Amino acid sequence: MHDFHYKNGELYCEKVLISTIAKEYPTPFYLYSYNTIVGHFNKIKEAFKDVDPLICFSMKSNSNLNICKALVNEGAGLDIVSGGELFKALKVGCSAENIVYASVGKTEEEIKEAIEKGILLFNVESVPELIMIDTVAKRLNKKATAAIRVNPDVKPYTHDYITTGTKEKKFGVDFKTAEDIFDNANKYSNVDLKGLHVHIGSQITEAKPFVEAIERVLDFLKKNNIEIEWLNLGGGFGIVYEDEKASTAQDFAGKIVPLIKDKPFKVILEPGRFIMGNGGVLVCKVLYVKTSSAGKRFAIVDAGMNDLLRPSLYEAHHDIFPIVKRESETHKYDVVGPICESGDYLALGRELQEIIPGEYLSVMGAGAYGFSMASNYNSRPRPAELLVMDEAVKVIRPAETRQDLIRGEKILKEFKAK
């Protein structure tokens, strides 16, 4: 559920009319619902209350400072994947003891900074990384804490690009390697191996793959007589983008909690999309309507793959809603952007009311992996991010300007002379 809805044929975010917002703020822009975001976090918290997990919001899904701060204020920790995200996590006041650090390619400098700040856990993805963490910790005369990310070789039903728990992928280590690491823990004298981490992918809409992965992890712990303080179950809970039969937080918990309840370890969850996905939309304006000689209709809008990459990258589906519904014939449209790429589209072959240049469309389910994957491709400024909160619109990141496009650049004097 989310707080984007129609009333008398007009689309609202909570109690605010989106057409009114579009008149005040230039398109394209991202628009988020505070109630939806906080509500989804609390649904997970309530569903898993029997195991009292540390819920670390996955910053890679949306790292806007205000989004992260809102969730930290609700009791969330943060799941980070870079030094930049660590910087932002600390900036919003998240306790380092509530930060977990993933990524297969942590640099020496990033590791050093995270140890100095005292994060809760590194999610270790390889033996060379573990050696590097131990080396850096020794140099700092500190102890680092870590969870070994195991790859359980479970393939969920999701896009291959966001499947992370099979043996062909770059993430984590196999069970045999994990066993060797724990057997030789004394080799890593400046690392406390406190847990296991398992993350099998993203946009997973049923509990079965999670159950299979957890059962394999629990079997591994039992067979090898390994005791851990933390079991990090990762994220990946899916949402409804189109016609998926996505499980609710309660559905996931109903299958997962019985497996881990009363176990002698604490639990970490790392949701991102489940909290943010349907908490945001991308609002854009129709520039032109074009019909090809073959009769194909194109709605050309002012947002493209530079603003929302998921359709081009994953062939991901996002519903397209008109801001104002009208009584009209419907037609099939490709909703495409201004970028000079054939792959620049937001939707293909969508049955929509007759589209008129100048009207506004809303790309739904864009709160996660929307702005965070946006770029300046084609030298286009990134859009604004707006948040509806307490029936008011807050600018939580202004739209970039053309000056932002050249920030840090300057023309060499050798060129100026010519």
**Cα–Cα distance, 267 to 246 (Å, whole number):** 23
AA letter at 417? A
Report DSSP letters for 16-38, one per residue.
EEHHHHHHHSPSSEEEEEHHHHH
Strands 10-13 and 4-7: antiparallel
Other beta carbons within 10 angstroms of residue 25's beta carbon come to: 18
**Cα–Cα distance, 44 to 256 (Å, whole number):** 12
Where does residue 141 rank: exposed (0-12), middle (13-18), buried (19+ CB within 10 A)? exposed
- CA dist list (Å): 146 to 100, 107, 155, 230, 337: 9, 16, 25, 10, 44
**Cα–Cα distance, 197 to 195 (Å, whole number):** 7
340 is catalytic: yes
288 by DSSP, 3-state: which? Answer: strand
Other beta carbons within 10 angstroms of residue 190's beta carbon come to: 17
Question: Cβ(76)–Cβ(55) under 8 Å?
Answer: yes
Question: Cβ(225)–Cβ(176) under 8 Å?
Answer: no
DSSP code for 248:
P
- The residues annotated with a catalytic role in the active site are 340
